[in-house]
């Protein structure tokens, strides 16, 4: 059971996996309705840190999802830079090791202390939701996704991160193990939407019931003809879920 309260609106993170013009058009439509936007590689590498400030000026909280993975010294520097850029939430790959995650966490904490702000939410990436058992085995990991998420999530916990990113399928086990974790689940597919490249998916209601604190939703909102209506439909679905 989630031991902290999050409103349905606060639980939905809209992924802007597109270029700057489209991202700003989507942000304008969602302004005043959505709380969180996600900036990933596509948008960040096109625009740079200025996109974070731009979206924050519009009143959004910004999840900068660059999935940091390098030697500890580099990840510390990158996490520090993203904190200075205004990220409210950021990600690093658990497979980078405990030392790497600890360095990233230290970078975030130092940068937050320098600015006198609350530290951003730090998340360990476990197993991408686009990966299934066969893909995991093909890169030499002979565990199933659930056990691999458990092993990697433990490293995030030990490193002092705020939580993890996993698929809705593994959220329940994690919520039982780590009651105050921020558990962010991509792979969200409302009924009658396509899976596309996502493999480990669930509906918004199931993901929340199983213990996710936040949902990342991209194309089921952004690729529709009416993104605001799609956002409201998911928000309504969450309003009816008892957590
Ligand atoms: O469009 P869709 O809803 O599939 O987008 C999912 C988003 O979640 C993408 O921005 C992707 O980068 C992100 N993500 C993911 N799996 C993870 C971590 C992040 O799909 N494990």
Q: Which residues is 63 bridged to in the sheet? A: 38, 89
User: Which structural domains are found in the chain, ordered by start?
Assistant: 8-242 (3.20.20.70)
pLDDT exceeds 80 at position 67 = yes
Ligand 1 closest atom vs CA 38:
10
Pocket test for ligand 1, best of 13, 14, 15 (most atoms within 8 A of CB): 15
Q: Which of 187, 186, 195, 193 is nearest to 233 (CA)?
A: 193
Residue 205 tokens, joined: 């209601």
- Give distance in angstroms: CA of 218 to centre of ligand 1: 7
Site residues for ligand 1, CB cut-off 6 Å: 15, 17, 38, 40, 65, 125, 128-130, 165, 186, 198, 216-220
Ligand 1 closest atom vs CA 223:
1
Q: Using an 8 Å Cβ cutoff, are 231 and 12 in contact?
A: yes
The percentage of residues in the chain with a pLDDT greater than 90, rounded to a whole number, is 88
- pLDDT, residue 113, reads 98
Non-local (6+) Cβ contacts of 4 within 8 A are 180, 213
Tokens 């700057």: give the residue: 20
Tokens 């008892």: give the residue: 242
pLDDT averaged over the chain? 95
- Give distance in angstroms: CA of 217 to centre of ligand 1: 7
> Which pLDDT band, with edges at 50, 70 and 90, does 121 fall under?
very high
Rounded CA-CA distance 115/90 in Å is: 17
- pLDDT, residue 14, reads 98
- pLDDT, residue 136, reads 95
- pLDDT, residue 63, reads 98
Global pTM?
Answer: 0.95
- Give distance in angstroms: CA of 114 to centre of ligand 1: 31
- pLDDT, residue 23, reads 98
- Across the range 87-97, mean pLDDT stands at 98
Rounded CA-CA distance 99/149 in Å is: 18
> 3-state DSSP call for residue 81?
helix
Residue whose Cα lies nearest atom 14 of ligand 1: it is: 186
Rounded CA-CA distance 173/68 in Å is: 25
Q: Which of 221, 214, 186, 210 is nearest to 200 (CA)?
A: 186
- pLDDT, residue 240, reads 83
Give pLDDT tens digits for 148-202.
Answer: 999 999 999 999 999 999 999 999 988 888 889 999 999 999 998 888 998 889 9
- pLDDT, residue 242, reads 65
- pLDDT, residue 1, reads 43
């Amino acid at each position: 059971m989630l031991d902290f309260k999050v409103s349905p609106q606060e639980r939905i993170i809209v992924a802007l996996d597109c270029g700057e013009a489209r991202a700003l058009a989507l942000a304008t439509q969602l302004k005043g309705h959505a709380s969180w936007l996600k900036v990933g590689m596509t948008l960040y590498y096109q625009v740079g840190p200025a996109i974070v400030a731009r979206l924050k000026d519009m009143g959004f909280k910004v999840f900068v999802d660059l999935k940091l993975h390098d030697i500890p010294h580099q990840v510390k520097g990158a996490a520090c830079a993203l904190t200075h850029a205004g990220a409210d939430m950021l990600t690093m790959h658990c497979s980078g090791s405990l030392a790497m995650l600890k360095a990233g966490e230290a970078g975030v904490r130092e940068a937050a202390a320098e600015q006198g702000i609350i530290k951003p939410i730090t998340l360990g990436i476990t197993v991408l939701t686009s990966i299934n058992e066969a893909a995991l085995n093909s890169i030499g990991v002979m565990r199933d996704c659930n056990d691999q998420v458990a092993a990697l999530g433990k490293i995030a916990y030990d490193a002092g991160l705020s939580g993890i990113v996993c698929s809705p399928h593994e959220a329940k086990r994690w919520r039982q193990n780590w009651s105050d974790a921020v558990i962010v689940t991509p792979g969200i597919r409302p009924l009658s939407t396509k899976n596309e490249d996502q493999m480990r998916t669930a509906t918004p209601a199931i993901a929340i019931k199983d213990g996710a604190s936040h949902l990342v939703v991209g194309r089921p909102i952004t690729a529709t003809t009416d993104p605001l209506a799609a956002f409201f439909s998911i928000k309504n679905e969450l309003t009816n879920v008892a957590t």
